[in-house]
Amino acid sequence: MSDHPTASARLVASYEAEYVLDETQRAALTLAGEHLDAAERLDAAVREHGVMVPGSAGQLVVNPAVSEARQQRAAAWAVLRSMLPADAGTDAASMGQADSGHAARSAASIRASRAASVRWDRARAASGGDAA
């Protein structure tokens, strides 16, 4: 076992250094950290076995741990994002995601995208086009 703290421990410690957390927030951070711990274990499996592994017929296929690690990171991000106020205005760079390659859209970007979709739907409907 490594002497390095787990992703879960690092995540909770980094938030506790900045914020006063209640039990619900601490539990959410722990859950997000567990997803990140799983992603780290999957990354280790990819390092050990490679990105490409033999498939059932002997052909090379992408190691399933690659996509599962990505899913674990996405789940962690979803938990962290759920902790943000709807109008937080945070973006991927301010959450440290831009450098990791796992950037996600900000709440403001999502709101703007939804507003644009509504405008396009109205324009299609007004012109007699399908608003689907």
Q: Tell me, yes or no, if the pTM score tops 0.85.
A: no
Across residues 22-43, what is the average pLDDT? 94
- Higher-pLDDT residue of 18, 37: 37
Across residues 113-131, what is the average pLDDT? 82
pLDDT > 70? residue 91 = no
Element (H, E) at 20: none
Across residues 77-100, what is the average pLDDT? 66
Cβ neighbours for 70, distance < 8 A, ≥ 6 positions apart: 39
Across residues 21-39, what is the average pLDDT? 93
Across residues 56-65, what is the average pLDDT? 96
